[in-house]
Structure 1
């Protein structure tokens, strides 16, 4: 099965890892996952700072390789919310609660273009230890770490702030 998933993935936190794991599990052995990774220009729309594409690409690749998934993968650069999801033939799109509306929009546009609609697989948000959603914004604010654990003032003070490019 060919599956698509996309995001900025900065920093790569447990919610992203769940999303990516679901994509690889959906593709299954012998399947293929296309991962759209936001370009620097597309990622600049975020409210928090975002590290460069090259840094995010390297972190994403390292994490995927450490998991030894049975499906193959490729990473493509995203300049908008659609990437190649409007033109490629694929079977499923894995989305979060936040990006589910984009998945519906992709299917609507594919239908308008005479292409097959794809199955949408939605994951639930991952909750931090404080009962709130794990998000990149909360991580950059110093509220939690990438595992959803609270960050002490000493830990946060020792981090290097990320500059918005």
Structure 2
């Protein structure tokens, strides 16, 4: 990976399934691999003030099996797996003093990869299988054909890792340095056998498909906690090819307006509403839009209307998907002004908000939102001397505090 460059270095890591979905197993098999890849990216940064990017494509068996479709059937299981991956990213970066999402550091993003080595043998470059190009769950062909600009592609040096890399290479045409198109094995990777039935479906419910999902938050100084919440929200949205033909799918993000944040700690270091919206949109696009090169770029529309939630930023982030960010000036936002919403995503810390929203909707005679709860990223595996540092890296308040301290030096 060249170090004398202007654009920040970028990489893709293809990960086979873990032995089990316990965090301990995640750490045992993935930590050495991630640490090596991070070291490569830091070397490419060469001490510069740029931010490297790493896309982690985590393969899981059964992602597209009928029992796990649509993804809301397995929401609890899938969001926990994503939490484990981001938690591990945080643990590694804290222990190795690597900045996350900041200049001189690494911006890691997790997507879920549907890969079945038996099925993939029927899907070759000359015999393609039709696919939907929406994440955060993608198949190998979609990922390889997306035209993303990776300098390096890595995979663990185990048989199933080689199978994954071979399948990927059968579809991939490098768009940058041709040497970057050859997946590289990570030497010294732990040897393990991938587990089975890692994705656990829940009980069937009447409401499985959601064409309009909402999440609310401040999204100040974007971090891995935000990434987990937004990925979980994308998992709730109904997959492409389901539901009525031509029906648009919408993710609404209620982004707290600047006026509601005046009394926040270190308020002078808050990002503006526009900055927070753009960080949110950039991340969601990166995990959801896998259209190949030549696709018309997304267009951002700024909307200003009188009344509640009137200020919006709207963009299309994939075939049939609209992302709408609305400025919220009260605790409810669009949940009590837009009847068509069908699902709400909350964190464990804000679970009471889901009940309050549905109470308000009931007063209007509206359908209740199905509420999906997302885990909070845990810090229990971080050495005791680093726990406070870990917590500060996933706290927007502490990030602002550090910015203030730096400004005073």
TM-score tier (shorter):
0.7 to 0.9
Q: Secondary structure at the match of 1:98?
A: helix
Match of 1:118 among 355, 364, 369: 369
Q: How many Å apart are 1:28 and its aligned residue?
A: 3.1
TM-score by length of 2: 0.33
1:58 paired residue among 278, 293, 303: 278
Q: Give the whole-Å Cα distance in 2 for the aligned partners of 1:78 and 1:116.
A: 21
- CA deviation string 1:141-161 (max 9, x = no partner): 34xxxxxxxxxxxxx799447
Task: Measure, in 1, the Cα distance between the counterparts of 2:397 and 2:357.
Answer: 25
For residue 135 of structure 1, what is the aligned residue in structure 2?
395
- Uncovered stretches (5+) of structure 1, i.e. residues with no partner: 143-155
The 1-side partners of 2:407 and 2:349 are apart by 28
Structure 2 counterpart of 1:40:
258
Aligned pair partner of 1:28 in 238, 252, 255: 238
For structure 2, list consecutive stretches of 5 or more residues without a partner in the other structure: 1-209, 241-248, 290-317
Cα distance per residue 1:50-99 (max 9 Å; x no partner):
21112212222222222235643211111111111012121110011222
CA shift in 2, pair 1:122/1:131, >3 Å: farther
In structure 2, C-alpha distance between the alignment counterparts of 1:106 and 1:47, rounded to whole Å: 26
CA root-mean-square deviation: 2.4
* Bigger mean CA deviation after superposition, 127-136 or 18-27: 127-136
Cα deviation, residue 122, structure 1: 1.0
Counterpart residue number, 1:73: 323
Does the alignment pair 1:100 with 2:318?
Answer: no
CA distance in 2, matches of 1:85, 1:68: 23
On the 8 A contact 2:344/2:371 being kept in 1, the answer is yes
Shift in alpha-carbon separation, 1:157–1:3, aligned structure 2, 3 A: closer
CA pair 62-160 structure 1, distance change in 2 beyond 3 A:
farther
Q: CA separation in 2, counterparts of 1:21 and 1:90?
A: 18
Q: 1:29: Cα distance to partner?
A: 2.4
User: C-alpha distance in 2, partners of 1:19/1:37?
Assistant: 13
Q: TM-score, normalised by structure 1?
A: 0.78
Q: Number of aligned residue pairs: give it.
A: 148
In 1, the alpha carbon distance for the partners of 2:226 and 2:342 equals 21
